[in-house]
Amino acid sequence: LTPERYPVERLPFSTVSEEDLAAFECIIPGRVITDPEQVQTCNVDWLKTVRGSSTVLLRPQTSEEVSQILRHCYKRNLAVNPQGGNTGMVGGSVPVFDEVILSTALMNRVISFHDVSGILVCQAGCVLEELSRYVQERDFIMPLDLGAKGSCHIGGNVATNAGGLRFLRYGSLRGTVLGLEVVLADGTILNCLTSLRKDNTGYDLKQMFIGSEGTLGVITAVSIVCPPRPKAVNVAFLGRSAGCPGFTEVLQTFRTCKGMLGEILSAFEFMDAECMQLVGQHLHLTNPVRAVTSSTQEEPSLSGDQEERGSNSESPFYVLVETSGSSAGHDAEKLTSVLEQVLNSGLVTDGTMATDQRKVQMLWALRERITEALSRDGYVFKYDLSLPVERLYDLVTDLRTRLGPRAKHVVGYGHLGDGNLHLNVTAEAFSQELLGALEPYVYAWTAEQRGSVSAEHGLGFKKKNVLGYSKPPVAVKLMQQLKAMLDPKGILNPYKTLPAQA
């Protein structure tokens, strides 16, 4: 960590001693990792923008082991960094200094699954994609999906209150998570792992840990309700040709989709032309509604403007619309009517539709892999904002003018259906000057719209000082009091989520 980029001072925690290592070895024999190479991968975040200097990685398998580890750390005043799949976007998943890394990677057991209720109970370290496979084999799906599914853990998802690609249809983890088991800072095991849909006995404590980013406790098990697997999934990928200014039409397309597709609409994602250019340039993905929309497609492809089709014009916006329902014919018919409507009314000019799994995945990859394409483009300044949907793209255009050639790319994409913009700026390398042009400007702009400075990624290390843009001082103070009550020594993920107290 460069001090000028992230000015932060180490708090007076103890440092790990030989005796501590011996104590850990007693609790989890053979799973105390001190090999520098192995520890190093857990010290660096996915974006490679922050790096800690921990020397020890602990890999417990049970809640009891997590409890004993935390009891020891609490007694010894050792700081702890809970870590799941290390795919977090805000620097919360890696140590800032020499915090002990407590990984859930070996806590990957499914505890139970009920095929009537769809309720899954599992350990926190289960990888999301593996859980998806597990429940799909039983005719259910996970209520959340994200581009990081192959690495992220369900415990990490809950700890960040991840949103993702199915939020529009299945809602927040605050609704689908039914129960949690959490180990508190002093090692106490809080077992709220119920599988009840309704339970109004006292305060809903699990909500405190959902989205708490490892600062209030270590989530060790999760009970979550899974929806039935939809029998039919259709995806349409739509674009507007260059020359059509556009975002208003994107919003009208969303309105049309909501109105005509009703309950079968399961995603409405958008990306701009620069995103498309980047997935093409860095990942060699092909734009399916430019040049490709021809007789080579086995799925129906549509175009409202034959002149544009096959030409090299760039669409200023693309949207991905997904339906999930129970009747393949009926759903395809509905989506086709929507496409006809939006093409005929000129809201979009090009489109392609997929029902077979291979093409559905190919279309989804264009949207899901933007993050990866951006990370190959250079240093990425990442913003994850909730905004009134009608103003969702204004900041992107505004910043293009404001930053000029200082930025390599200024892009906008995200979960339009949830009012969630991902605004990303790339540059050859980190630059303090560019950062100064972006912050606090982006946060103040967002606050002016009464938006949120973190829609779904959390605050972690990088955004903890901007909490005040989206929450009043009384709320921030209450959060600090809660933290002090649950973790009086402040050992759990210090330097994260909450601004440092004066």
Contact 289, 351 (CB under 8 A): yes
User: What's the start-to-end Cα distance of the chain, in Å?
Assistant: 22
Query: Whole-angstrom Cα distance, residue 132 to residue 226?
Result: 10
Least distance to ligand MLT, CB of residue 269, Å: 8
Query: Whole-angstrom Cα distance, residue 152 to residue 88?
Result: 8
The order of strands in the sheet holding 32-33 is 32-33, 57-58, 100-103, 80-83
Contact 190, 161 (CB under 8 A): no
Least distance to ligand MLT, CB of residue 370, Å: 6
Q: Is 422 in the site for ligand MLT (CB under 6 A)?
A: yes
Query: Whole-angstrom Cα distance, residue 146 to residue 167?
Result: 10
State which residue, 92 or 451, has the beta carbon closest to ligand FAD: 92
Q: How many residues bind ligand FAD (CB under 6 A)?
A: 39
Q: Is 166 in the site for ligand FAD (CB under 6 A)?
A: no
Q: Is 148 in the site for ligand FAD (CB under 6 A)?
A: yes
Least distance to ligand MLT, CB of residue 422, Å: 4
The binder of 85, among ligand FAD, ligand MLT, none, by C-beta within 5 to 8 A per type, is: ligand FAD
Rama region for 468: left / alpha / beta (φ>0; ψ in -120 to 50; rest)? alpha
The binder of 422, among ligand MLT, ligand FAD, none, by C-beta within 5 to 8 A per type, is: ligand MLT
Q: Is 377 in the site for ligand MLT (CB under 6 A)?
A: no
Closest CA to 452 of 473, 477, 421, 430: 421
Contact 458, 497 (CB under 8 A): yes
Least distance to ligand MLT, CB of residue 385, Å: 10
Q: Is 454 in the site for ligand FAD (CB under 6 A)?
A: no
* Alpha-helix runs per DSSP H in 264-308: 273-283
Contact 343, 337 (CB under 8 A): no
Q: Is 86 in the site for ligand MLT (CB under 6 A)?
A: no
Least distance to ligand FAD, CB of residue 70, Å: 11
Among 147, 412, 419, 490, binds ligand MLT (CB under 6 A): 147
Question: C-alpha dihedral over 216, 222, 227, 229, to 10 degrees?
Answer: 120
Q: Is 371 in the site for ligand MLT (CB under 6 A)?
A: yes
Among 169, 206, 359, 457, binds ligand FAD (CB under 6 A): 457
Least distance to ligand MLT, CB of residue 41, Å: 20
Per-residue contact flags (x/-) with ligand FAD for residues 296 to 335, judged by CB under 6 A: ----------------------------------------
Closest CA to 66 of 107, 115, 15: 107
Closest CA to 13 of 68, 56, 69, 75: 75
State which residue, 209 or 254, has the beta carbon closest to ligand FAD: 209
Query: Whole-angstrom Cα distance, residue 60 to residue 80?
Result: 13
For ligand FAD, the binding residues (CB under 6 A) are 46, 81-89, 92-93, 104, 124, 146-148, 152-153, 155-157, 159-160, 162-165, 213-214, 218-219, 371-372, 456-457, 460, 493, 496
For ligand MLT, the binding residues (CB under 6 A) are 147, 370-371, 384, 414, 422
